[in-house]
Amino acid sequence: MNVNAIIEILIAVMVLAGTVLSLLSSLGFIRLPDVYTRAHAATKSVTLGILFILLGTFLYFWFVHGLISIRLLLGIVFVFLTAPVAGHLIIRSAYRSGVKLSDTSVKDELREDLKKATQLEKYHSREG
Amino acid sequence: MTLQILLNLVIGMVWMLLHDEWNMLTFTIGFLIGSIFIFALRRFFPGPFYGLKIWSIIKLLILFNVELVKSSLIVIGQITRPKLNIQPGIFKLETKLKSDWEIIMLTNLLALTPGSAVLEIAPQEGVMYIHAMDMAEFRHSIAKTKDLFEEAIIEVMR
């Protein structure tokens, strides 16, 4: 087995791994109970899947066509920058517009603190 | 630090001029030689050698990628379990980071680590509210990775 065959197998494994990761995380969208847990599936596994697919494509163009495409690497960087921000904004706006957590949730310290804060505000406004 | 980087670029340019070869390879050689000079003369500069900063950035990136792989495997393990058995929840964590940039970096990194997503930040009190996918399993591991990231970020930013 020569070097080229090994590299081709490596590329195939990377692209397949990325595809499987994306497939499994879309399975997560269906199975998970609420928007907050779905955001976990959307930000983590999908990002890793895209990383694998783009790296595989980068290696393919490099070794098979002798072409170093920096744009593919930049694609990875921008997905890494935007995916967590998008996930954070989605769950934050969901919480602010009052989307309920799933019934299996065990704790919500933010709600407790918000209640405390509003009680304090009421208390202060009464004094003033 | 900016001075050191600028000086290093100038040394690379001068090397390229002296050789009269206008390509990337000559510039890279000049840049490497310049960084050796700056490393040798580092005690005459006001700040520490800038290579240390680059090294800490590389360390942060490695740490981040390891955590990303771990978290994806954990999430997939949870999803593919035949009976979904998770107890999500929101808990708060205190952070010792102060400036906006440091908190943004920590938020971005935490969004891609095992079972955690940052829900709300209160920078005045230095408190972050984190949604965990499974409270029982992840609460302590999230606090631990947060400490790791904090140290790495402080090394990079300060």
- The pLDDT tens digits for A69-96 are 888 889 988 988 888 888 888 888 888 8
AA identity, residue B150 = E
Q: Which residue of A has its CA nearest to B113?
A: A44
| Distance (Å) from the alpha carbon of B136 to chain A's nearest alpha carbon | 9
- Residue B157: CB atoms within 10 A of its CB come to 14
B1/A contact by beta carbon, under 8 A: no
- Contacts of residue B111 in chain A, CB cutoff 8 Å? 43, 83-85, 87-88
Range of the domain at A73: 3-101
Is residue B90 within a helix (H) or strand (E), and if so which, with residue range?
strand B89-94
Domain assignment present for A60: yes
Whether A128 maps to a domain, the answer reads no
Q: B83-131 pLDDT, tens per residue? A: 777 788 888 888 888 888 888 888 888 887 777 888 888 777 788 888 8
In this structure, is residue A27 part of a structural domain? Answer: yes
Give the per-residue pLDDT at B76.
81
ipTM: 0.72
Q: Does B25 touch chain A (CB under 8 A)?
A: no
Question: Tens of pLDDT along A41-63?
Answer: 888 888 888 989 999 999 999 88
**Is residue A83 within 8 Å of B112, Cβ to Cβ?**
yes
For chain A, how many structural domains are there in total? 1
Q: Does a structural domain hold residue A92? A: yes
**Which stretch of DSSP H or E encloses residue A95?**
helix A70-96
Within a domain: residue A14? yes
Identify the pLDDT of residue A127. Answer: 58
Asked whether the beta carbons of residue A106 and residue B87 sit closer than 8 angstroms, the reply is: yes
Give the span between the Cα atoms of A16 and A21, in whole angstroms.
9
B29 — pLDDT class (breaks 50, 70, 90): very high
Residues of A in contact with B80 (CB under 8 A): 24, 27
